Amino acid sequence: MRTKKKMLMAAVPVAGCLAALGATAPAAHAAGTDGSGGTSYQATLAPVALNTPSGAASGHVTITINGDRATVSEQVSGLATTLPTDTKTLSALGIPAAFAGKPFPHVQHIHINGQGVCPTSSADANGDGVISTVEGHHAYGMIGTTLSTKGSTGADTATDVTVAPGGGSFTYQRTFTLNQDTLSAIKNNKAVVVVHGLNPANAPKASLSTPNSLGVTLPGANKKLALIGTAPAVCGKLVSSQMNTMPSGGVATGGGSTSGVQDQGLFYGAGGLLLGAGAVLALRRRFGKQH
């Protein structure tokens, strides 16, 4: 039942997936038939229940594995764009003033060896209307790999915002050595990509006032970071590309697909800026009421 539902939901962003494949056509092609180019896995990133409204954010991840080397290509849109600039708001969220107006950091991981799925609303164990990172562990498992922008890809950088991609829409590409646990989990269908950090403009109310579930305190902050900083925003299970791999002739459509990706990026980029401005206003309103 659940599987069927997920498949139906996954059918919507198929155009985006194909477009992304077009952009990475050489890798996908190499992985396809000759057997020497490695294996590709993909995840369609969708809003996490409760945390991100349906349709507000999306993304796509392709991981091509050669031995223990992995090349990750990712595109995400519709996430929180920038951190608030208002001092009171920042303080209430456990964000140091030095972070004011900076791109919203989105720590991201390959979670492994849970149920190999994204959490549904039933994962909200304490019923506060937010699925915290910890509440999601049963579904997607623990952190296997940190998709950091530089340095370690281990659990040691899991919550290091200085090596996390930032902004509402971003592309991420990195080649690195994958640890054995993550490698096995991906092959065993037990790997899920999770991007964290909720958009204050549309996040559940409790995420603004509740401390994060991982005990993260940002350097220079006087309290723990609020849940919006770490809660899972979008999520997608990694699946083998075998059944979705483009036929070798598919490269011919690469040009059209690539421009589609660019248009999509521009579209979401503009929307993201609007959401960012709205976020600050909404936060001010919410916190204004409390005082």
Question: Which residues from 29-48 bind Cu ion, rule CB under 5 A?
Answer: none
Extract the tokens encoding 124. Answer: 């909200």
Site for Cu ion in 206-245 (CB under 5 A): none
Residue-wise burial string across 209-226, b where 16 or more C-beta atoms lie within 10 A, e elsewhere: ebbbbbebebeebeebbb
Tokens 């709205």 belong to residue: 278
Q: How far is the CB of 255 from Cu ion (least distance, A)?
A: 35
Tokens of 156: 């040691």
Write the single-letter amino acid at 42: Q
Q: Using the rule CB under 5 A, is 49 a contact of Cu ion? A: no
Whether the Cβ atoms of residue 237 and residue 103 lie closer than 8 Å to each other: no
Nearest approach, Cβ of residue 30 and Cu ion (Å): 29
Residue 82 CB, shortest distance to Cu ion, in Å, is: 21
Least distance (Å) between residue 109 CB and Cu ion: 3
For residue 10, count other CB atoms closer than 10 A to its CB.
16
With CA atoms as reference, report the closest residue to 275 among 79, 130, 100, 55.
Answer: 79
Question: How many chain residues interact with Cu ion (CB under 5 A)?
Answer: 2
For Cu ion, give the closer residue by CB, 19 or 118.
118
**CB of 196 closer than 8 Å to CB of 214:** no
User: Which of 48, 183, 194, 208 is the binder for Cu ion (CB under 5 A)?
Assistant: 194
We find the least distance from the C-beta atom of residue 43 to Cu ion, in angstroms, to be: 13
> Of the two residues 31 and 143, which places its CB atom closer to Cu ion in the complex?
143
**Shortest Å distance, C-beta 143 to Cu ion:** 5
> Of 195 and 208, which CB lies nearer to Cu ion in the complex structure?
195
Instruction: For Cu ion, give the closer residue by CB, 79 or 194.
Output: 194
Alpha helices of 24-158 — where are they, by DSSP H?
Answer: 25-32, 87-93, 137-140
Q: Which part of the chain contacts Cu ion (CB under 5 A), choosing from 18-26, 90-98, 108-116, 222-230?
A: 108-116
Q: Which residues on neighbouring strands pair with residue 60, listed in sequence order?
A: 44, 75
Between 82 and 212, whose beta carbon lies closer to Cu ion? 212
User: For the packed helices 14-23 and 254-290, what is the interaxial angle rounded to 10 degrees?
Assistant: 120
Rounded to 5°, the CA angle 223-227-228 comes to: 115
Q: Output the smallest distance, CB 101 to Cu ion, in A.
A: 25
Taking the least distance from each CB to Cu ion, the nearer of 109 and 224 is 109
Binding residue for Cu ion (CB under 5 A) from 106, 109, 190, 237?
109
Binding part of the chain for Cu ion, among 24-32, 74-82, 109-117, 212-220 by CB under 5 A, reads: 109-117
Which residue's C-beta sits nearest to Cu ion?
Answer: 109
d(CA 100, CA 252): 45
CA atoms within 13 A on the CB side of 155: 8
Closest to Cu ion by CB, 93 vs 191, is 191
Q: Measured between alpha carbons, how far is 161 from 102 in angstroms, rounded to an integer?
A: 11
Half-sphere exposure of 89 (CA within 13 A, CB side): 21
* Segment interacting with Cu ion, rule: CB under 5 A, options 7-15, 47-55, 78-86, 105-113: 105-113
| Residues that bind Cu ion in the complex, under the rule CB under 5 A | 109, 194
